[in-house]
A and B are shown apart, each in its own frame.
Chain A
Amino acid sequence: MTAIATIFRDVTYRGREGQIAWMLHRISGVGIFLFLALHILNVFLMSFPSDVFNSVLFFYHSVLFKLLSVFGLYLGVLYHALNGIRVVIVDFWPGAGRYQAPMWRVQMVIFALAFVPSAAVMLARMF
């Protein structure tokens, strides 16, 4: 319970939108980094005969990986990409920092509008 209370206190600290945006950016960033390490090693298998690469495809075609690729990788990359652009705007556009919170809310609407239909297309094809 203490751990849950700590997490609740941390995410509801006074940072509001900016703090939640930062936390999600960091968590998605680490997740993408870990996937990318696996992904590069996987593509490196292309330098061996074709059955080597094809023999690991069962992992990428599994139900667990397909769900993770939509609700982990794609969700994380889309959030990280949109939030990253907001960070770049705030850093390079004088005065934009005052609007970072409403910009984050607009960003999350764009995120939902982009994620829901594309995730539906991917899931419809996968299953």
Chain B
Amino acid sequence: MQARPFARPRPASNFEMYAWFFTRISAVVLFLMALFHLVYMDIALGVDAISFQLIAWRWQNPAWRLFDLFLLTFGWLHGANGMRIIIDDYVHAQGWRVLVKSLLYLLTFVLIILGAYVILTFKATG
């Protein structure tokens, strides 16, 4: 057998494969959860019904907190990963790409911490 001179080199890590897989797994999860969230909040309840009191009432049930926590992390990580791909596609200059991606990762860290903090620590005292 002749060696394959043009064999594709093995990637150094499987990160891109896991990211590709995560996008599709979270897509199926978000298809159910995000659409349910929109239909429940915007169609069943309506934008005008949304207030501090309504969300406080909703968060009395730990199941809703868990639902929101899943939606926050799956939704944001799916979106941030998509933005990472888009940055790779359009930002070609090395310096700008590092800067824009660093801002994306910083935003990801801050927003998931802030979102998880309020979902987990909220006390319905009004």
A interface list, Cβ under 8 A from B:
26, 29-30, 32-33, 36-37, 40-41, 43-44, 46-47, 49-51, 53-54, 57, 60-61, 65-66, 69, 73-74, 77-78, 81, 84-85, 87-88, 91-92, 118, 121-122, 125-126
Min CB gap A58→B, angstroms: 12
CA distance A29 to B34 in the complex (A): 13
CB pairs A–B below 8 angstroms (15 shown): A32-B79, A36-B79, A37-B107, A41-B111, A43-B115, A44-B114, A44-B118, A46-B52, A60-B50, A65-B47, A73-B38, A77-B38, A81-B31, A126-B46, A126-B48
CA distance A62 to B77 in the complex (A): 29
CA distance A118 to B117 in the complex (A): 33
Asked if B60 lies at the interface with its beta carbon under 8 angstroms from chain A, I say no
Which chain B residues lie closer than 8 Å to A74 at the CB level?
A: 38, 42
CA distance A10 to B38 in the complex (A): 32
Main secondary structure of the interface of B (DSSP, over half): helix
Q: Which residue of A lies closest to B107 (CB)?
A: A37
Which chain B residues lie closer than 8 Å to A69 at the CB level?
A: 42, 47
CA distance A32 to B55 in the complex (A): 21
Given A40-B72, A66-B47, A126-B48, do A47 and B117 touch, yes or no (CB 8 Å)? yes
Which chain A residues lie closer than 8 Å to B86 at the CB level?
A: 26, 29-30
Q: Which residue of B lies closest to A32 (CB)?
A: B79
> In the complex, which residues 12-50 of chain B have their Cβ closer than 8 Å to any Cβ of chain A?
24, 27-28, 30-31, 34-35, 38-39, 42-43, 46-48, 50
Asked if B61 lies at the interface with its beta carbon under 8 angstroms from chain A, I say no
CA distance A124 to B80 in the complex (A): 34
